[in-house]
Amino acid sequence: MGRLTTHVLDTARGQPGAGIRIDLYQVGAERRCLVSTVTNADGRTEQPLLDGENFVTGSYELVFAIGPYFANSGLAAKQPFLDDVVVRVTLANDEHYHVPLLTTPWSYSTYRGS
């Protein structure tokens, strides 16, 4: 069965991004929020964002609210350069998709992990 997972790494401090809100939207004729969650102490979500019957091929947006995280970290100004990081992905097959976010207050990168 397919599933979608993620985690956040704070590369500025070399630690997991704990307490970051993540919203998952299904994108099609309309944009619909499917999941809202917060990362744990390991920078991961407690459960997959999609799995089982909820896993449907198509386009999705992961919205990582890193602005508030860095504003509270002391690393960035109270109004950080980056606020929400939006990553749009297409899930085309019934397999495991893992989308890590590596971020600082000023940059980010992502990739399809394992």
The residues spanned by each domain of the chain are 3-110
Q: Is the pLDDT higher at 77 or at 63?
A: 63
Backbone phi and psi for residue 47, each to the nearest 5 degrees, phi listed first: -135, 160
Report, as an integer, the average pLDDT of 41-58.
Answer: 96
Residues 31-58 have a mean pLDDT of 96
Pick 3-110's CATH classification: 1.10.3720.10, 3.20.20.190, 2.60.40.180, 3.90.730.10. 2.60.40.180
Length of the chain: 114
Lowest mean pLDDT among 12-16, 61-65, 72-76: 72-76
Q: What pTM does this model have?
A: 0.94
Q: Tell me how far apart the alpha carbons of residues 76 and 74 are, in angstroms, rounded to a whole number.
A: 6
Task: With cut-offs at 50, 70 and 90, classify the pLDDT of residue 114.
Answer: confident
The 10s digit of each residue's pLDDT in 67-86 is: 999 988 877 666 778 999 99
